[in-house]
Structure 1
């Protein structure tokens, strides 16, 4: 199989010609010295690490998996050394706070790096992604003492992080969790309980593993308002701030999973483990969602990354595999890429991945604006856009990413089902992205019941106004005019759906069965918007990356967008009649 090729040229094209990266960075005090040249240089080096160090370990990790012996986890051969090299090269510090040793770079650089990590080795990328999420939660909600004690070494990669939410009887409904936290009177708490599905719960990389654990104080009320968040390290710190005595929790077992075999997914047993309150008592979910929202965007990027590498390998296979006759019957055998249905499969993945990457960069820019813009009103609006798009990126990118990965496997025919070709691993690995960090059905309900109705629908309407303005501007560009016209019809449907949802915001129970349809349509309108931007801006550049994009953009508008628009029509019918009641 051909090696992974980091999409650096595509990234360069997006930053320079489509999303106005340099001007966006120049307007942000924290990032004003960052430009496309710097971003591409950094990502080029990151891509080399992913391609040369991490991808060769992907199949190895899948074959060997993780093992548990005497309460300690051993990761597959090469994984620990790769992580130490990853940290030594500074890749754990990219977007982290400079006050604690981070580089403080743009979220755009981080998200594009996350895509390449996910393409090269999904299991490996989780170690870094979960640590970054834990760092953000501690940074936002920890005391100065906790931040000083833990953040520098977590950011440097010497220590890692994990989030411990799920229990056997409390998955999505965290209000049912039973793990206890007993105050000890000295500022610490004894944490007792069992958690399942804990990614990166333990490993053999060395250093500490910092668990963020949801638990209940003795006087806590039932439900989510009674949950608090605690920092629980694998090793307690000695007087020098280094790893000392082992804390009282263990890995009870490792989960045997469909995919991501190189990622230790643990059942954790906390047996009076020492922990520290993170944030306010009873507001644990508020603190944890700082981590979870970042993780949900990260998981969406995982879906994108796996679709990218699966598509790369499918395209190369289709160019090399000889089978069948040419369409005019004059040549045989021909490369299967000449067959119309194979091209259709390749274009389905390509039309998602290229627009998805552009949308991911746009969301990351909004994160940078929300963090750094000097105007509070602009920061607030950007943060609203991030919140609106978070469930869309998580659910749609992982659904579409999985579908694209399965389709890429199909290009290989029988070879795609054979382990040696690697495609079946991508399918197995990609499947979890639709499930963890909140299943995609939960994301759709979040969009329907919270995000579309936020501020009476004002945030959604502001987003649609941005799209509408770009469609109007694109109408005067030959390469984009027809695309803008087709997307305008889909946007009108989305606006009408949003208005209907807000009219019924007091009772959306009858519409909840259509939440996934609404999210899929929202995602396709957003991806179509990116294709309009790519066409309107890219066509006027002399960048070689523009070649072929006009065809891909037309394919998306003609073949992919109409499918989602049908779902919008179905959801609209539910707004006009109690279809779910009638079906029951």
Structure 2
């Protein structure tokens, strides 16, 4: 009772019209041979893999879960076979450099791939989701010999990596970690300690696993300034098992197909990545990639919830609706799609899914521009915007993933609460994304304190420039003029609010921490405003006969009428946070 089909038509709309990505590819030597037809072929094949191989394993993987016996993890039936097909299709190499054996395609296409994987089977995709971040981490910080030895098996899919940060006493505050690394005469280190909540810490998809582990070298400074990063393989080149073992897996509320492991390091051999005591800087390359991917999980959940809720609402007939579409004869009972309350829910699902897709793909496109853009100023601007977008995408998208899954469950009524209709799994799976890879509260603090107040509002100002530019272009077209007026009003309100936030932060150091959550949500709504104003404008290039043209304008009208008004309440909440919070 659960299905998924990749939204290839809307993906094409975002790539071709919203982003105008093919024009940018032509300007970048790294992507000069890539054009839209080739990109669409890649996405079509990714969609086929996701819908044909992964989606059928989603519910069964949830019911079976992972098994742990004799120190080994067994993944649900079909997971290992699907991974072999994933490797044979060359998907691990998609956005890796050609010089290292990758396909050299943009991170934009990889973002679309990740959306499809998470939408079709979140539990399975947890094993592959961290691989690109590990690739970037090693490529940026590891010694040359480590890159030569361990990048090829990551790119080929022969090995899967993990990210080992959390310890029982050190979750979000990694400065409290106790795992230690002792230098050896041969230049390696021996690691001792334990880690928990390690996704894919053990699995039966690959023979070897590459653990990227944060640990402390004896004598290092206390806190986060004394943390180093190490690469610790499960198996050494000799074939001998390294001193790392899984001693338990967690029994979770969701993503049951993903093995969440406790690992014990008992003199495990590893090698330093980057400089000693600067492990967080190296790890953040991996974590920033992971945070974008986690945001895409929220998008994937919203898309899957939308597809399945719409399919059910079209089939389920209940009562007579107040109105029917033109030309539809009266009946004893009408589909749920005719009832205003359900139309309201379904439109919000569609608008959030398609709006987040535009913004999520924009962030990935900015990463490509930051690395491969032809002009230094444009590369710097793209980098600033992508850094500002990252915490918003991680937190806002994942909150929407859970919120919209809950809305979709409501469409199913009582059936949504039983396992035969797997929307309840989507609700359970989506909840974890608000916690891991830096909780949403941490993302909000990072956004307001570091990326807005901390940089004197420069990156935030770039976003306001995007809003103003869109308003200037939209005002030229009658059907977009109202959206343009609302964008200009939003810009003025955001600028005024930022001035107030700065003043209040100077008067009360705790104030920005109290206001951060609402400020981030406000930024998310503002990004959706940009998404839909632009979507309405660029949809004008589509033929009048194309239903997508009218649909985009309809969706933009819904957003600006029904969802944008939430901006006022969030602004009021940001201002209201000047009131101190009592200790409880």
Taking structure 1 as the reference length, the TM-score comes to: 0.96
Where does residue 514 of structure 2 map in the other structure?
513
Aligned mates of 1:491, 1:246 — CA distance in 2 = 58
SS at match of 1:437: coil
The answer as to whether partners of 1:163 and 1:213 remain within 8 angstroms in 2 is yes
Match of 1:569 among 572, 575, 578: 572
How does 1:268-417 map onto structure 2 within 5 Å? 268-327=263-322, 330-417=330-417
Partner of 2:116: 116
Relative to structure 1, the CA distance from residue 473 to residue 328 in structure 2 (aligned partners, 3 Å threshold; closer, same or farther) is: closer
Alignment: residue pair count: 576
| 1:241 matched residue in structure 2 | none
Q: 1:162 to 1:579 in 2, by over 3 A?
A: same
Residue 143 to residue 505, structure 1, CA distance change in 2 (3 Å): farther
User: Quick one: distance in 1 between partners of 2:428 and 2:450?
Assistant: 32
> Aligned partners of 2:312, 2:426: CA distance in 1, in Å?
15
Give secondary structure in 2 for the equivalent of 1:172.
Answer: coil
Match of 2:186 in 1: 186
Gaps of 5+ in 2: 325-329
Name the Cα RMSD after superposition.
1.5
The question of 1:522 aligning with 2:523 is answered yes
Q: Is the 8 A contact 1:479 1:539 kept in 2?
A: no
What SS class does the counterpart of residue 166 from structure 2 fall into? coil
Q: Note closer, same or farther for the CA distance 1:328–1:508 as it changes in structure 2 (3 Å cut).
A: same
Can you list the C-alpha shifts for 1:185-226, whole angstroms capped at 9, x where unaligned?
A: 211111011101000111011321000000000011110000
2:423: which partner in 1?
Answer: 423
Q: 2:559 maps to which residue?
A: 556
CA, structure 1 residues 401+581, in 2 after alignment: closer, same or farther (shift >3 Å)?
closer
Match of 2:97 in 1: 97
Is this contact kept in 2: 1:175–1:223, CA < 8 A?
yes
Seen in structure 2, the aligned counterparts of structure 1 residues 83 and 573 have a Cα distance that, compared at 3 Å, is same
Runs of 5+ unmatched residues, structure 1 = 239-243
Q: Deviations over 1:54-75 (max 9, x none)?
A: 0001011101111111111110
Aligned match of 1:433: 433
Mapped contact 2:169–2:176 kept (Cα < 8 A): yes
* Partner in structure 1 of residue 548 of structure 2: 545
Give the Cα separation in 2 of the matches to 1:421 and 1:46: 25
Cα deviation, 1:262-289, whole Å, max 9, x if unaligned, reads 0000000011100100000000000000
In 2, the alpha carbon distance for the partners of 1:237 and 1:533 equals 53
Task: Tell me the distance in 1 between the aligned counterparts of 2:52 and 2:372.
Answer: 35
Question: Is 1:165 equivalent to 2:160 in the alignment?
Answer: no
Structure 1 residue 573 displacement after superposition: 4.3
For residues 555 and 256 of structure 1, what CA distance do their matches in structure 2 show? 41
Give the secondary-structure state (helix, strand or coil) at the position aligned to 2:262: strand
Shift of residue 493, structure 1, vs aligned partner: 2.1
Structure 1 contact 132–161 (Cα < 8 Å) conserved: no
Q: Deviations over 1:378-435 (max 9, x none)?
A: 2111111011000000000000111111101110001101101111100000001111
Distance change in 2, residues 1:419/1:582 (3 Å): closer
Q: Distance in 1 between matches of 2:582 and 2:243?
A: 55
Q: Is the 8 A contact 1:8 1:43 kept in 2?
A: yes
Structure 1 residue 134: deviation in Å? 1.3
- Pairwise CA distance, 1:581: 5.9
Q: Is the 8 A contact 1:114 1:298 kept in 2?
A: yes
The Cα offsets for residues 133-171 of structure 1, whole Å up to 9 and x where unpaired, read as: 111111111111001111111110111100000011000
State the alpha-carbon separation in 1 of the partners of residues 500 and 289 from structure 2: 30
Hey, what's the Cα distance between the residues in 2 that align with 1:268 and 1:402? 29
Shift in Å at residue 182 of structure 1? 0.6
Question: What residue number does 2:327 align with?
Answer: none
CA distance change for structure 1 residues 581 and 304 in 2, over 3 Å: closer, same or farther? closer
How far off is 1:497 after superposition? 2.5
* Aligned-pair CA distance for 1:92: 0.9
Shift of 1:505: 5.5
